[in-house]
Every structure is written in C-alpha cells, then in structure tokens.
Amino acid sequence: MRTMSAIDQAPAAIQFPTLAPPRRYLFGPGPSMVHPHVYEALSKPIVGHLDPYFIQVMGDVQQLLKPAFGTSDGATLVISGTGSAGMEAAVTNFVEPGAKFAVFANGYFSDRLTEMAKRNGANIVRFEKPWGETYTDDEAKDFIQRERPKAVAYVHAETSTGALQPGHAICAAAHEVGALVIADCVTSLGGVPVEFDRTGIDIAYSCTQKGLSCPPGLSPMAMSPRAMEWLRARTTPSRSWYLDLKLIHDYSTVSHRYHHTAPISMFYALREALLVIADEGIENRWERHRRCHKSFVKGIEAMGLSLFVPEPHRIATLNTVRVPDGIDEAKVRKHLLDGPGIEIAGGFGPLAGKIFRIGVMGPLATEDNVQFFLTEFKKALH
C-alpha cells in the first residue's frame, strides 16, 4: 500500500507573503550597507559566463581591485564564494601536505586558518596569544626564524576582536627564510589600507560584504609575482578542484576556458562597488573611515565606556566596545534591532558577553550616522 509523503500531505497551495525584508542599519561587523548603484547593477540582465561581455567585466574587476589592495605588480582575481572560500583557496594552493605552516593565532579566524591547514595535511606550528593581542616586530621575527616554515599566515584585521596586525615584520622575516605569506584581509579591504606591495604580502584574500559595501558572495584575492611563480612551479595538484587557482586564473585571465559557472550578477555588483570606491578615491575612503572611527571613539568614551583593543591596534571600520558591568549585551542588541532597526554583534568564544562588535563602514561611515548610532546606543544601554 502506498504511503503518503510529506508532499502529498501538504496543502494544495501554500501562500507565501511578498518578499519584504525589514529596514536595517547594518552597524555590525558585516554585512555592511550596500550602495544604491550596486543594487541597480544587480538588476541588470545576465549574460553567459563565457560571454565576451562577462569576460570584460571580470577584467574590469581585476583592474579595479589593484588600488584597493595596494598592488601594481600583483595578480588579482575573484573566487566564486565568500571570504572563507578565499581563505581555503589560499591554504589549499599554497600549503602542500606535510609542509610546515606557521600561524599567528590570536583570534577566531586564525583558528579557522589552522583548521583548514590541518585538513589539508600541513605540519602546523602556532604562535598563540590571547584574543585581541597583537605581535611585535621582534616576536614575529623570532618565531619565524626559529620555525623556518614554508608558509606563514596572519589575520590583518581580526573580525572577532577588532585588532589590526601590522604585517611588515612578518613578511620580511618570512621572506628571509624563503616562506610565502598569506594575509587575511577580509575585514580590512576597502576600509583600511592593506598596502599589499609595500607590506610584502604574497597572498591576500578578502570578501565583498564588509569594506567594499557589496552583498556577500565573492572573495577577491591578490597574489605577488613570487606567489604566482611558486604556483606555476607546483607539481602536485591542489586538493580542491573547485578552488584550484591555476584553473581559476586561466579561466578569468588567460584562456577564458570554462572552469565553473560564475555568479554573473555578483560580478556586476562588485564592479559597481569598486567603481563607487574609485570615484571617491581609495585614500579619501580610508580617511573618511578614520575620521568616523575617531568620532565614534570620542562618543563612546564620553559615555564612560572603553574599547577592548588599545588605540594603536584598532581597526578603523570595526570597533569592539567593552560591555559595562551589569549590562546584558544580548538585551542591548535586541533593543537596538527591535527599536531603530540597528544591527550590531556581540563577542563569541572567550569574548562572549564581554564586547559589542560595532562596524562603521561604507555608506554608514558619515558623521551624521555615527551620531545617530551613538544616540540610539546610549538609549539602549539605559
């Protein structure tokens, strides 16, 4: 006897409401607000992923990414996937099984790098510090010279803590021992100077939904000439076919032979987001975020609150504010979301319940928006 499936038992016609997302002010660590021009680009008709028009769009994006990363010599491309796909692409292509991989571990995303490298069969060594702390030049040099790894990874802007890690000493020491350097720039690209060439980074990956003020879905990458040379010389295939950078680079830059069906509309959106940045000027954009960060900190301190990260190592686009004694941070966040529609984030891991993570980036990085947030935040605290 035939049994009834869940589909058989379902109503003949299920009525769903018209899609109507609530109005939110995205003051969290990401996603950030999206520029109207970017939304408009998303509505454009799609073409095929091998169409000459789309190939040109990919080329435009690669060129527009160069000033954002701060590179003139490096190769830029885009992974069809979020920032975590960029992270995995960096690991699986440049950290061979059995190779020594050194990780500067001081937050959640350095732990994620470690996990990806572990699954890739790397020999992992970690320089561990409490979440939120950063590394001095001497500490970085001593660690790398002692371990002499094949590849080194650090998080430039740690989303979980709000700490900004300078990379010059890490890159210099790594190159002295012949190692490649991977930098996580997910929270810095577009809002904070990455300075890819000047720092000496070999492989950087990011995302679209934070400093670039674009919807999530793509991971921009930059690779130095020495990284590209290393990649071309690699004889063993990447363990990931989908994230094989040789194949992706060939598809997007060289032969344009089919590799995968790229998300056409998201490339349109990223191209438009990068044009918005180009119109403003990348240095002007950095300065706008610095000004808003200073205004934000001034307002927070005027409330008697303090930031988790010391002043020299704060990320201009992502503020981590200590939760005052006696305050339930989850209730504050709920009050902001239910009332004015403001989204912020709390801490997690060892920082759960101890910090608010508040982003001021992209279209929200204006003095008026900072003051709007501070006013509503003060009300929520009370």
Q: How confident is the model at residue 6 (pLDDT cuts 50, 70, 90)?
A: low
Residue that finishes a domain, picked among 278, 303, 321: 278
| Residues 45-55 pLDDT 10s | 999 999 999 99
C-beta separation of 101 from 148 below 8 A: no
Per-residue tokens: 332: 């504050």
Per-residue tokens: 51: 């169409």
Same domain? 255 vs 110: yes
256, 278, 300: which is the final residue of a domain? Answer: 278
Question: Is the per-residue pLDDT at 323 higher than 90?
Answer: yes
- 324 and 238, same structural domain? no
Percentage of the chain modeled with pLDDT above 90: 96
Q: How many residues does the chain have?
A: 382
Positive or negative, the CA dihedral 373, 37, 271, 263 is positive
* Mean pLDDT calculated for residue range 278-284: 98
Q: What domain range is 92 assigned to?
A: 36-278
Do 261 and 158 share a domain, yes or no? yes
| CATH assignment of the domain containing 111 | 3.40.640.10
- Whether 263 and 289 share a structural domain: no
Task: Please report the pLDDT score of residue 4 as a whole number.
Answer: 52
Please check whether residues 197 and 65 belong to one and the same domain: yes
Same domain, 288 and 274: no
Same domain, 359 and 228: no
Residue 84, in any domain of the structure = yes
271 and 375 in a common domain: no
* Domain co-membership, 50 together with 184: yes
Q: Quick: pLDDT tens for 346-377.
A: 999 999 999 999 999 999 999 999 999 999 99
The residue out of 278, 304, 319 marking a domain boundary is 278
The reply to whether 169 falls in a domain is yes
The model's pTM: 0.95
Q: What's the chain's average pLDDT? A: 96
- pLDDT of 10 over the 80 cut: no
Cβ atoms within 10 Å of 205's Cβ, excluding its own = 25
Residue 6 in any domain: the answer is no
Q: How many domains does the chain have?
A: 2
Tens digit of pLDDT for each residue in 91-109? Answer: 999 999 999 999 999 999 9
